[in-house]
Amino acid sequence: MDVISVIRTKRDRGELSPEQIDWVIDAYTRGEVADEQMSALAMAILLNGMNRTEIARWTAAMIASGERMNFDTLSRPTADKHSTGGVGDKITLPLAPLVAACGAAVPQLSGRGLGHTGGTLDKLESIPGWRALLSNEEMLHVLDTTGAVICAAGDGLAPADKKLYALRDVTGTVEAIPLIASSIMSKKIAEGTGSLVLDVKVGTGAFMKNIDDARELASTMVALGTDSGVKTVALLTDMSTPLGLTAGNALEVRESVEVLAGGGPADVVELTLALAREMLDAAGIKDADPAKALADGSAMDVWRRMIAAQGGDPDATLPVAREQHVVTAPSSGVLTRLDAYDIGIAAWRLGAGRARKEDPVQAGAGVELHAKPGDTVTAGQPLLTLHTDTPEKFDYALQPLGAAYDIAEPGTEFTANPIVLDRIA
């Protein structure tokens, strides 16, 4: 078996055999296949796709590259959630402690930023002292004592995916449906959760730009999970506008704490509760009310214990960028569009994301929104505030923002998209 033959097979729109898939995943994990060769194969998969048989075998090979976890010793049923990535998507932060406060155990293995989308681990690492890297024993201890853990997948869990995930981020292959589905589901199946809720984003700020592609991805992942014995449900949710009022790392942590304190933006609260109800139902917990757990402070209590258990200080002051630049509304009227992709690109260029897999991110960088579609704005009022430690990035970040929003005549009627667009089970 050789990698050039594997690349050529997919380049020429052929079907990869089970033997080719098993070999190339194993060889890449061991370092026998180089990054540039796997990049070529990933691009061929992006352009030519994979059938269901190939995707299932690719996922199984990713799982087989490492170990599998088991949570049978826990007294609670396990429920996990995964988002395909969006702009301002900080939902995992309030969601994990909320579901734990309602009686489930939430083993949340999360990732870092991909392209213009933020990464949960990057966000949480803005909390002084917080650790993303836990051993399996530490992960199980935090989960058992607090009810929730958010951490990086260990080196032993689907190591092939860990390498490929970082490579896709910097080679323009993030959007490949087979690679998205296998990446997500290999980790989640190997993780050992009993149930899984998928948040599949749709819109300009998502990797799936239209609802048909999102349904294809969701259906593929639900089938992979179900066939592996994991109760799996997917929600298709809108990502044409950023979630909440922030896109960045520390900015989004601050907003998540507001949600846990009983406040926060309405769209973030709505989606957090919708996903919490799906997770609790999938875990077989029927009598818990997540809205009550937000209101009475029990979700906040779990958050504080969870952060402290991973070395973080829940009372610490979060980092703030050294420099700010305000974008003002050019005219008065009704804001009818605020493009999630453009906002995500601006946040990435300010330092909230990375261009290379080894790049650091700025904890305080990002974009703060002062209005959302449907709001009335006045000429000259702040529309966006850009945050960065490196002011020379402002001009580059401002480039996509010129076409990021529309302001209609005063009195224009506006109807927002629903947040949850569809459900696939």
Rounded to whole angstroms, the Cα distance separating 160 from 25 reads 7
Residue 162's pLDDT is 84
List the one residue out of 1, 3, 2 whose CA is nearest residue 40: 3
Q: What is the pLDDT of residues 377-407, one digit of tens each?
A: 999 999 999 999 999 999 999 999 999 999 9
Q: pLDDT over 90 for what percent of the chain?
A: 87
Asked whether residue 422 carries a pLDDT value surpassing 70, the answer given is yes
Share of the chain above pLDDT 70, in %: 100
Q: What is the mean pLDDT of residues 298-318?
A: 98
Report how far apart, in Å, the C-alpha atoms of 333 and of each of 42, 124, 336, 343, 383 are: 45, 37, 9, 20, 12
Mean pLDDT of 120-139: 95
Residue 32 clears pLDDT 80, i.e. is over it: yes
Catalytic residues: 82, 161, 168, 183, 187
The pLDDT of residue 111 is 82
Average pLDDT, the chain: 95
**pLDDT at res. 113:** 80
* Tokens encoding 42: 């990933």
pLDDT tens-digit map of 239-282: 999 999 999 999 999 999 999 999 999 999 999 999 999 999 99
| Closest alpha carbon to 151 in 185, 188, 124 | 124
Other residues' Cβ atoms within 10 Å of the Cβ of residue 116? 26
Instruction: State yes or no: pLDDT of 169 exceeds 90.
Output: no
Q: How confident is the model at residue 112 (pLDDT cuts 50, 70, 90)?
A: confident
pLDDT of residue 357: 66
Longest Cα–Cα distance of the chain, Å, equals: 66
Query: Within the chain, which residue ranges are assigned CATH 3.90.1170.30?
Result: 323-408
Could you read off the pLDDT of 348-377 as tens digits, one per residue? 999 998 877 678 899 999 999 999 999 999
Residue 103's nearest CA partner among 84, 78, 82, 85 is: 78
CA distances from 379 to 315, 374, 404 (A): 38, 16, 16
List every span in the chain annotated with CATH 1.20.970.10.
3-49
What is residue 397's predicted lDDT score, i.e. its pLDDT?
97
Which architecture does CATH list for 323-408?
A: Alpha-Beta Complex (3.90)
CA 91 to chain centre: 9
- Say if CB 191 and CB 157 are below 8 A apart: yes
Which CATH number is associated with domain 80-309? 3.40.1030.10
- For 315-337, the pLDDT digits (tens) are 999 999 999 999 999 999 999 99
What's the mean pLDDT in 96-114? 92
Q: For the chain, give every residue range classified as CATH 3.40.1030.10.
A: 80-309
CATH 1.20.970.10 fits 3-49, yes or no: yes
pLDDT of residue 273: 98
Nearest to 149 by CA among 190, 193, 105, 191: 105
Say which DSSP state 409 is in: P
| pTM over cut 0.75 | yes
Q: What is the pLDDT of residue 326?
A: 98
